[in-house]
A and B are shown apart, each in its own frame.
Chain A
């Protein structure tokens, strides 16, 4: 039957991406590994001599490490959005891209998770932040937004990793059934004895739905909790109730942009154009328009509230943010996040891979700037006597570049070693579509 042949073709298309990669691939991985090594060496040096090698100071206690943390947690958001929220809404176009965006989520959280560690003054006692029974019976302070953050991000990582893995098990079995040699052993182990049997599918399908239901509020809560790291403080520019929705929207914005950035080369290199089509990318670009509008609204509201509050500290702070030392950063942020994405209103722009890539990269620049503008602006708080400025040091640049390398390296490893498209879901979708066609025909 028609679907059978197309099923085999799907298997071929997706699983052939797992064929042993060539020299060029390993060369790129090696190059990225060098950057990653530079990052860890720099961190090692920082652990040895002190965090002063970074540019943080009095009064800017948080710097690029937290900027990057929030940035990567934000990136992590669209994966779960696409795989869980769109699943619940039965959005069909999610199927082709959900696997790679979930992988991106997990990898982005793994990248984000590095930064709070790098940020700590005493990295060697990081586990004091974890709720675990200890000899002194002193538990973490559950009133601290940082502990919420630890719990939320840990939960997010655990849940999205389990979700990612669970969804991938049938496809891993498919990979196992096709592979030879050590790869067969590898896929045998990680496919956990999956046999495509009904007895497994019936639990699997329910579990998948449960995960989708549970992950959806998580998407909303995690970046809300991250935003409360700032909003729970009393600082001007931080202490505001709009932060939670604004951060969630920003996270989705940057996550979608990163998915576009990653998928454009991936579908080309892995020859997945037949599965990940321009329509999929277009849909995400359309979502970006929505997010850009929400974020623009949030930026406007922030400034409006500062003016409307007649709070001298708040208003002077916003004037400084817009026209002071970080004005360039601020306006880059506004342009990249709210204005440029509106170009996606034009179909030509959102269906052209060059403009898609450029704009998605600009959105990511803008979202990084947003976090920078928020975090570096502790430089201007209440007492003018303590005002200062913050800039990244070479050490921070190395660590930041290293983290990007780490992210891309892990994603490349994923793309060539794990099924980058959800095979069984694509097949299910095909069945569904065939069924609908039949009904129409009948």
Chain B
């Protein structure tokens, strides 16, 4: 049901997941070297000119300094998840054992030592689930095809830098990309 709705989703809608508003023009430059990409991104950041996004087949954290958004909330969420897990684990074990006050093997109903294992495992479980959900939220996990300006080569050997701009900014965008030695430049 839900998937069917997603199937009908237009690529533009997918694009909007990442961008605040639909850009009038997307100027895409490709690179075969990550260092060229890094330099280009740095240049864009310094120019304060456009909204842009980088693409590439390896984790692009190396070019981070050239990007406007850096770091990730994932780690904070993981920490919070871990705290919730340890508290929740102990709480669950302690609370549920007071419901019937069952004595087993001479141990009082609420015995802390054995509950350490529950707390420990739930710390990891909840932290991991939180991490996954946070990642899914940040990276916008949706089972839909990528938008048309996404080039299949990005999965293989090509790096890309997309500039989102108004029609008036296109020329400047092209210039910036050319200066950064982009191998190909496309407009969408």
Contact = CB atoms under 8 A, between A and B. Distances in A.
A198 B139 contact: no
A148 B117 contact: yes
B168 interface: no
Interface stretch (A18-26, A133-141, A347-355): A133-141
Contact of B32 (A1, A152, A427): A1
A147 B146 CA distance: 43
Nearest to A153: B121
Given A3-B33, A196-B56, A196-B57, A155 B155 contact: no
A273 interface: no
A85 to B, nearest CB: 14
Given A143-B111, A199-B53, A210-B78, A190 B58 contact: no
Contacts of B132: 162, 166, 207
Nearest to A160: B128
A427 B60 CA distance: 11
Interface residues of A, number: 69
B14 A193 contact: yes
A11 interface: yes
Contacts of A137: 99-100
Contact of B33 (A1, A138, A203, A221): A1
Contacts of B57: 7, 11, 170, 174, 196, 423-424, 427
A121 interface: no
B33 A148 contact: no
B121 A152 contact: yes
A155 B125 contact: yes
A151 B134 CA distance: 23
Nearest to B97: A142
B124 A218 contact: yes
A439 to B, nearest CB: 13
Given A8-B157, A202-B69, A192 B121 contact: no
A270 interface: no
Given A4-B157, A178-B155, A201-B59, A193 B140 contact: yes
B125 A177 contact: no
Interface string B67-105: 101111011001000100000000011001101101011
Nearest to B139: A200
Contacts of A191: 143
B92 to A, nearest CB: 6
A427 B58 contact: yes
Given A173-B155, A199-B53, A151 B142 contact: no
Contact of A210 (B60, B104, B127): B127
23 contacts: A7-B157, A142-B96, A142-B118, A143-B104, A143-B105, A143-B115, A148-B117, A148-B118, A151-B121, A191-B143, A193-B140, A195-B147, A196-B154, A197-B18, A198-B60, A198-B63, A200-B139, A201-B61, A202-B60, A202-B138, A206-B71, A215-B124, A217-B120
Given A197-B55, A199-B140, 11 more contacts: A3-B157, A4-B32, A140-B96, A162-B132, A170-B57, A178-B156, A188-B145, A194-B141, A195-B55, A198-B63, A207-B78
Interface of B: 3, 14, 18, 32-34, 53-64, 67, 69-72, 74-75, 78, 82, 92-93, 96-97, 99-100, 102, 104-105, 107, 111, 114-115, 117-118, 120-122, 124-125, 127-129, 131-132, 134-136, 138-147, 150, 152-158
Ranked nearest first, the 8 interchain pairs of A and B with the lowest CB-CB distance are: A139-B96, A203-B138, A7-B157, A177-B152, A174-B155, A200-B139, A4-B32, A192-B141
Interface of A: 1, 3-5, 7-8, 11, 131, 137-143, 147-148, 151-152, 154-155, 158-159, 162-163, 166, 169-170, 173-174, 176-178, 188-211, 214-215, 217-218, 221, 225, 228, 423-424, 427-428, 431
